[in-house]
Structure 1
Amino acid sequence: MSILEDYYNGVLIPIENFGNNEFSGYQDLSERVQEREKELLETLSKDQINLYKKIKNDRSDMLHLELERMFVYAFRMGFFFTADLYSE
């Protein structure tokens, strides 16, 4: 089977093999964000916490849409680069 057939048939699932961010400082930044978020939530009322959670969910949805757009763009660019290489 080709890689495209594996992808189409669900044998290849790129996100499973994507791994974790190994970029220097990422883990520290992630922990710092979590700590600040915890500090903030401790100061908010119940209504403010609910509003904060809605905003956080909306931002997550926005990020998902943006990542999908970026993936499609990068995939298309990869195809165009490959086509260009084989055209020479």
Structure 2
Amino acid sequence: ENLQRTIDNDVSTAVLNFKAAISTMDYQKQNMVLAETVYNQTKKKFEIGTGSNTEITSAQTDLITAQTNYINALYSAIIAKVDYQKAIGKL
């Protein structure tokens, strides 16, 4: 009975962690898309002479950060899925 409770708790925790990881991944993907849009608009402004080098550098840095955050969130979601599969005995 204690073992079953422990297993149930592990599965519940794994499910919650997986859902949270998916939510974070979705948020980071949206953030990355927004950063790409901002970068592209900033690049266009720079190309026509209305934007500064500082603006494009900042937008590029923000885009790289957003891409990195998305990749990290994707990795976390994969790990959470593996943890869930372990908890339910699939691995």
TM-score, L = length of structure 1: 0.49
By percentage of residues, which structure has more helix?
2
Q: Which has the higher contact order (CA 8 A, sep 6+)?
A: 2
